[in-house]
Homo-oligomer: A and B are copies of this chain.
Amino acid sequence: MEQENFHFSDHNHENCKSAIIKTAEKRCEENGVRFTRQRRMVLEILAESHQAIGAYDILERFKPNAKSRTAPVTIYRALDFLIENNLAHRLSSLNAFVACSTTHNGLDAQFLVCKKCQYVAELSTNSLHKAIHKEAESAEFTVTSPMIEIRGICSTCKKS
């Protein structure tokens, strides 16, 4: 079992996990895409925690429950699917992935990434969204996918 770090005292992660899966089922239904066994398994692995996890680590956790031998490309394909459907995000600064845990309502995602515990808090704030688009606009730049990964130390790690 990896490091546990529940940063919100009121955070019931079991609920959180099942909410992520339910959202996925619903969105796939709506979008007319298939939430297959493998895609579900990868999302479940991601949803186990709010820590970023690398593709090869996902692979290791995937193998025990796989029906046959599994290659990296299987994981990457599932991740591509999840990311396309906004069910997961890639953190470039870590070469790692997290389940999407917020609704974005058309706003960009932003991440607070703790260097110590790898905990990832997902934000989607209007103020940052606006600031980014305003700056881009004044450079006549058309934003498609901002990558906002704010690295630092979370409050829990700071205390210890």
The interface of chain A, by Cβ under 8 A from chain B, is 92-93, 110, 112, 114-115, 121, 123, 125, 127-128, 130-132, 134-136, 139-155, 158
Quote the shortest CB–CB distance from A51 to chain B (angstroms): 15
CB distance B151 to A139 under 8 Å?
Answer: no
Interchain CB contact under 8 A, B147 and A153: no
Are A127 and B135 touching (Cβ within 8 A)? yes
For the complex, what is the distance from the CA of A144 to the CA of B158, rounded to whole Å?
Answer: 12
| Contact across chains for B140 and A151 when beta carbons are under 8 A apart | no
Query: Which of B135, B142, B152 is the one whose CB lies under 8 Å from A145?
Result: B152
How far does the alpha carbon of A123 sit from the alpha carbon of B146 in the complex, in Å?
A: 14
User: Nearest CB to that of A158 among chain B residues?
Assistant: B142
Q: How far, in Å, is A113 (CB) from chain B's closest CB?
A: 9
Which of B135, B142, B146 is the one whose CB lies under 8 Å from A149?
A: B146
Q: Which one of B112, B114, B123, B145 contacts A151 once the chains associate, using CB atoms below 8 Å?
A: B145
What are 21 A-B contacts with C-beta separation under 8 Å? A93-B147, A112-B139, A121-B139, A127-B131, A127-B134, A128-B131, A131-B131, A132-B148, A132-B150, A136-B150, A141-B150, A141-B155, A142-B152, A142-B154, A143-B150, A144-B151, A144-B153, A145-B151, A145-B152, A146-B152, A147-B148
A148, B145: Cβ atoms closer than 8 Å: no
Min CB distance A132 to B, Å, is 6
Whether the Cβ atoms of A154 and B135 lie closer than 8 Å is no
